[in-house]
Amino acid sequence: MDIEVGSNLYSNTDGTIEIEGVPQIQMSRHPSTGALLVSFAVFDSTGRMLAKMVDSTLMFNERRAYDVSKTAKSLAVKESASGKVLLQLDVKVSDVVSLSKGEFHTMKGHLLEVSAKEWKIDKQIKSGQTVDAKGRAATIG
The per-residue pLDDT for range 91-119, each reduced to its tens digit, is 998 789 999 999 999 999 999 999 999 99
Secondary structure (H, E, C), 69-129: EEECCEEEEEECCCCCEEEEEEEEECCEEEEEEEEEECCCCCEEEECCCCEEECCEEECCC
Phi, psi of 62 (to 5 degrees): -55, 130
The per-residue pLDDT for range 38-85, each reduced to its tens digit, is 999 999 999 999 999 999 999 999 889 999 999 999 999 999 999 999
Query: Taking all residues of the chain, what is their mean pLDDT, rounded to a whole number?
Result: 95
- Could you tell me the pTM of the whole model? 0.94
For the segment 19-32, the average pLDDT, to the nearest whole number, is 95
Give the pLDDT of residue 94: 77
